Amino acid sequence: MSDLKTPYSQINIPNTNPSAVELKGESIRNIVIERQQQLDAVLLHISGLETVMDGIKILHLELVEQKDKIIQSMTFHNGLVSPLWRLPTEILSQIFHHCLPEHKYLSPASNLAPMLLTRICRQWREVAMGTPSLWCRLVVDLRDRDWEQAAVYYGSWLNRSRGYLLSLAFRGWYSSKHHNLLQPYINQISSLTIGFDEAADIPEHLFKDLPALQELVVLGGFGISDASIFGQLISRLPFTMRSLDVWQLPAFDIVHLSSFNPAWAHLTIVKITIIDPDAFLHLLRLCPNLSSLTVDIVFRRTQTLEPLTHANIQSLFIVISSFIVPLLPGLFNALTLPNLRVLQARCHDDVQWPHMQLRSLLARSRCPLESLIFSGQVSDAQQAEYIALIPSLDKVVSK
């Protein structure tokens, strides 16, 4: 393009007196006409170049699409001679199980197995969709705003379980509309974890008609002030129950524990918060088959405890919330645990560790203790006594 300077290019219009400049109107109009012609020519070139660029973009997209098709064809035909392609469905299903996240409950996210496995190829999708055991664990978020759409998605997941036992976790509020989702699968639920929002109004039918339920975890974070509400609900649990975790619920006393007495007899694992030491011993009496107990004892008073022998408990974890009165000595004096293998006790650091009482418990029980974990002021000499008393004890940890 030619130089665009003119005899008038140096004029400073705001600072120049028009009368002092010889303006030739015809000459300036010719310059403007010439510039318009130049502008039209440049715009034409730009338009032509944009057309070429659009053509290149289209060609590029077509080539990329062709590349993807070629790669897909190569992958497919390589798969035909791959040993993985010839794997029996049963083996491929087992491999898929090892792809699942190592969580108790699975998220229905599209970028995680098992959903991810359905997006690889047609064969993998058919195998994944036809393997019921891949779809037996699920987290259901009951707080989903678009519940109707979410219910369809969760329902399709659960339908793939085809009668297998289910492990389900529910986040958020539980109501009748959520119960409708479970109704077709009510006989399959063997493990259930449920957490309530604050100030939740617990439905009466919550734990009814769960004939296959073996494990129940009830999470806290809700406004329940009376443990008897859950006592009534838990009393409806089936005899198939083996594990109960109500650790985050309000503390239970003897009356609460007795109110759902039928559920205790078959339990082998319990996590719970209770009020008094006599309630702790009462719990052990109610659970003759108990093998593992985790208990937070909110002691309100000292008591004279009747001796108790529990023949089956193997793992005992006691948390003492009170730091005013030392209450572990009374418990250790009352208990005889001939099958105990793991003992863990935690109390306030200012409370003196009941060494003599624990030594008497171990000597009286003659248990095959393997692990002793405690918090408190325990000397090396006292730890050595425990090891000398119980030959099977190979782990003593002071926290």
CA distance 13 to 15: 6
The two tokens of residue 392 are: 């099977």
CA distance 110 to 129: 14
Binned at pLDDT 50, 70 and 90, residue 128 comes out as very high
Q: Residue 199: left (phi > 0), alpha (psi -120 to 50), or beta?
A: left
The two tokens of residue 252 are: 């239970």
CA distance 284 to 282: 5
pLDDT, mean of residues 168-184: 77
When the pLDDT of each residue in the chain is averaged and rounded to a whole number, the result is 83
Q: Cis omega (within 30 of 0) on the bond before 108?
A: no
Percent of residues, the chain, with pLDDT higher than 70: 80
Percent of residues, the chain, with pLDDT higher than 90: 38
CA distance 213 to 191: 6
Tens digit of pLDDT for each residue in 349-370?
Answer: 666 788 899 999 999 999 999 9
pLDDT of residue 29: 78
CB atoms within 10 A of CB 176: 8
pLDDT of residue 2: 61
Tens digit of pLDDT for each residue in 45-83?
Answer: 999 899 999 999 999 999 999 998 998 888 777 766 767
CA distance 114 to 110: 8
Burial label, 277 (beta-carbon count in 10 A; 0-12, 13-18, 19+): buried
Interior/surface letters 37-76, b for 16+ CB within 10 angstroms, e for the rest = eeeeeeeeeeeeeeeeeeeeeeeeeeeeeeeeeeeeeeee
- Amino acid at position 104, single letter: K
Sheet bearing 395-398, strands edge to edge:
137-141, 166-171, 189-195, 215-219, 243-246, 269-274, 292-297, 315-320, 342-346, 371-374, 395-398
- Helical H runs in 297-379? 328-334, 355-365
- What φ, ψ does residue 259 adopt, rounded to 5°? -70, -25
Burial label, 152 (beta-carbon count in 10 A; 0-12, 13-18, 19+): exposed
CB atoms within 10 A of CB 104: 13
CA distance 394 to 384: 11
Question: What is the dihedral sign for C-alpha 55, 58, 62, 64?
Answer: positive
pLDDT of residue 223: 47
Residue 106 has pLDDT above 80, yes or no: yes
* Cβ proximity of 245 and 273 under 8 Å: no
pLDDT of residue 229: 64
For residue 252, give the 3-state DSSP assignment.
strand
- The model's pTM: 0.74
Tens digit of pLDDT for each residue in 193-238?
Answer: 987 765 555 666 667 778 899 999 988 654 445 556 666 677 778 8
Residue 162 has pLDDT above 70, yes or no: yes
Q: Residue 376: left (phi > 0), alpha (psi -120 to 50), or beta?
A: left
Higher pLDDT, 200 or 243: 243
Closest-CA residue to 318 (of 327, 307, 309)? 327
Higher pLDDT, 323 or 217: 217
For residue 251, give the 3-state DSSP assignment.
coil
Which range is least confidently modeled, 89-103, 211-225, 298-312? 211-225
CA distance 73 to 71: 5
The secondary structure element, H or E, covering residue 76 is helix 25-81
- Specify the DSSP class assigned to residue 239: T
Question: What is the dihedral sign for C-alpha 18, 20, 25, 27?
Answer: negative
Delimit the domains of the chain by residue range.
14-81, 323-399
Tens digit of pLDDT for each residue in 4-42?
Answer: 777 666 666 555 555 544 555 567 778 888 888 888 888
